[in-house]
Amino acid sequence: MIPRLALLSLLALAACGKPAEPRPTAPVAAATEATLPADAVAAQPAYTVSETGLGPINADTAYDRAALAKLFPEARVEPGIDDWEGQEYGVLDVRGDDGLDLRITQNKGRAQKAWARGGPVVGPRGERIGDAWSKGGFKAADCAAGGENETGKIFCRRAGQPRVAYVYETGDLWEKGVSDNEVPSDGFLKANGVMTGLIWNRD
């Protein structure tokens, strides 16, 4: 006969059973922007354009390649040339692997205008480059058509934000019967307008 204590020990072992073996796990792919939810992508850090500047650029920022390189340590700052009515002038371009594309002009040794043409840049209300016209909430009356080498671009501003401009384009299309120096109608812009840039201007 098995002693009572030994019998209880055997029953307890039988109840516990064999330890569970760990299940193999499949490798998990790294998340990319394509696999992230839209709200997560929108929440990613970005440079904000406001009345006081564009990201780290403000009215006191020196127009200097080394100074800008400190403000954008993960980007490349390169000298470039732009022109207006045939007159060439120097610019500094800031470009990053995240798509950041800024063009900086100067006045009296300080940054005068910062024009964002791409990358993680948002407007005061979270507006983003690539947004459709209808998302911006503008009317044609809020905007002006660009001239000379900015022909085809439409510059819009909100009341109370004179230093921030929103740049829209309509691709290769332009409204029939509307001249280059006029803003197309709301209906045409709703169908074709896309934000292609955000600008901060010091003055």
Distance CA 197, CA 114 (A): 10
Q: Which amino acid is at 193?
A: G
CB 137 within 8 A of CB 90: no
Query: Model pTM greater than 0.85?
Result: no
| C-alpha separations of 164 from 33, 51, 67, 114 in Å | 28, 6, 23, 10
The span from the CA of 71 to the CA of 92, in Å, is 13
Which amino acid type is present at position 94? V
For strands 87-96 and 143-145, give the pairing. unpaired
Specify burial of residue 144 (Cβ count, 10 A radius: 0-12, 13-18, 19+): middle
**pLDDT for 142-154, tens place per residue?**
999 999 889 999 9
Say yes or no: domain 38-201 is CATH 2.60.460.10. yes
pLDDT at 44: 55
pLDDT digits 0-9 by tens, 3-48: 444 434 443 444 444 444 444 444 434 444 444 444 444 455 689 9
3-state secondary structure of 92: strand
